Structure 1
Amino acid sequence: RVCNPAFKTLPLHLFAEIASKMIETIDKKPVEIKNLMQRFTLDVLGKVAFGFDFNSLGNPNSVYVTTYNEVQKAILGPLSLFFPIDRIPIIKQKRLKKVNKLNNIFNEIIKEKHKALAAGKFQGDLLELMLNANENLDNQMLSDADLRNIKEKAREEVLRILGDNLIPSAEQHKSLKYLNMIIHENLRMYPLAPSLQYRKLTEDLRFKNFTIPAGTLIELFIYGIHHSPKLWDNPEEFLSERFENEFTTGENYSWLAFGGGTR
């Protein structure tokens, strides 16, 4: 939901601008196509997602390109595919150093975006939308006190029922009521699959006052069901207590984290 506005209307002028730079690069000298497309993609994502010009096409040796390549090589090197070399302390330390360098670059971009927003400069890129969404959600998130209370209650229940044996039996699992309430509410607010796979009608379907013609693609929008005020009181609030009673799919299939069946 946060990302859609940034990509719903594709900024074709940005693609055209960056594609022109790529063509200029090709005209100048022979190029390695994989590297070229990688830099093209980086520039497109920089513009669309961050409102930032990495200029990797114009400067293939920039800190952005070299740092990205270092991280990719460290994580996706051929040895990593066959051996757990990341467990070797010195290699792990080197990897973390490179990842932190990349993170610092992104942190600087975020700081500059904050400054731009504070100055009233809006571009509508993904980073801007995410920062705005984060600020708008602050009032809806649980307070630190609420989080501590939830964690303490869950921990107390686990220790009381399981003791030193942290692998629950089937009967013990049923007794972990508060923990299951938390899990159910998490899956309600953030379902693993926001929607189920499309189904194509093979014949006309009459639904209430509507006729859906054969050939129509039907999608079950689980996220919408889980956040519908018609089905849930205060759907945007985290309230694990709503699952206090034994719960499966709920009335009229109002909870569909795993479809309509049990897991």
Structure 2
Amino acid sequence: MLELFTQRRMEASQAVRDEEMHYMIRNVLNDTGKGQPVDFKLKLNSLTANVVARIVLNKRFTGCVDSTAEEEAEAHEFKEIIEELFILQGTFMIGDYIPWLRPLDLGGTEKRMKNLAKRIDAFLDGIIDEHELKRQKGPIAEEDKDMIDVLLNEMYQQDPKETHKIDMNNIKSTILNMFAGGTDTSTVTMEWAMSELLKNPPIMKKLKAELDAVVGKDRLVQETDVPNLKYLQAVIKETFRLHPVGPLLVPHESTHDCEVAGYQIPAGTRLYVNTWAIGRNPKAWDRPLEFDPERFMTGPDINIDIKGQDFRLLPFGSGRRGCPGIPLGLLIVQWTMATLVHAFDWTLPEGQDPKDIDMTEAFGLTVPRAHALFAYAKPRQAAHLY
């Protein structure tokens, strides 16, 4: 899995990210031209879904003006599968806590899961079959390979004596994990970040000032600008702290009996890390409920790590079960937020005050906003840059 996120692979997909960022900017401008507010979730989800789809499948799934009816149906099926997947993963099942009730399938959740599993399997079979047909037509140039091509090559070229082999089920699960981990998670993080920026105009103003100083007004933000945008990075860190996209991370299990803080933990115990609570703990953070990126600009937290080395801030988990897609996910979040703030001025719908923005969380695996976020965009830069 890690081979899929090497620097070489990241560089190979840069053109894809550039194109999709341009598409998103044009879509925002289209709403502006119609006098419509921007639906952040819709725009951000289209961006992330298309980036992942093009890297994994070498195709776009949303916003394709020349799509055939078959392609539109495939895109619709994909969208429904991902939405249902996240709903079911975050659904409370009483049978998990009272085992003797599980056969009753109260609420029908298990039946929905089984039906979804069949849909996922059929969908992924179709995708893999397309790639198998492409392989049969001849060698695929390195620059034209997507993630499935890489995985199929690994499967067919692996040593028969290898203990841990790649099979079709591994490939399917990897594809599913890429979409589940790379679309909704990034979208939710960016929507919360924009919510906080709109709710806190002084922070938005300071971020704009940094972008104007580093990027200027004669071009749009590029990926290579991100390392030089320190305040932007602080804004994203603060978003991860206050609105962790995976509030309980990936479940873990103790492999042997152990003692933690005086508590006896027997082997086989399911363990959850509540990053949502850690981010709001006054013992870990000063003014924990206040959105303040400055905490990461000066003082003891200026160099805090978000990739698993500091247990107060674990947006991607830690260790071997940490998120393997950190480089791609973090880059997309930072670059997209920089682009939206640098390219546009944002105003709330008439009559809505920043302090009144509803910050209610919805129940779910990724804790998204309970209500959609809308704002009007006005271009900040010269027209020819868009």
| TM-score when normalising by structure 1 | 0.45
Q: Relative contact order, CA 8 A, sep 6+: which one is greater?
A: 2
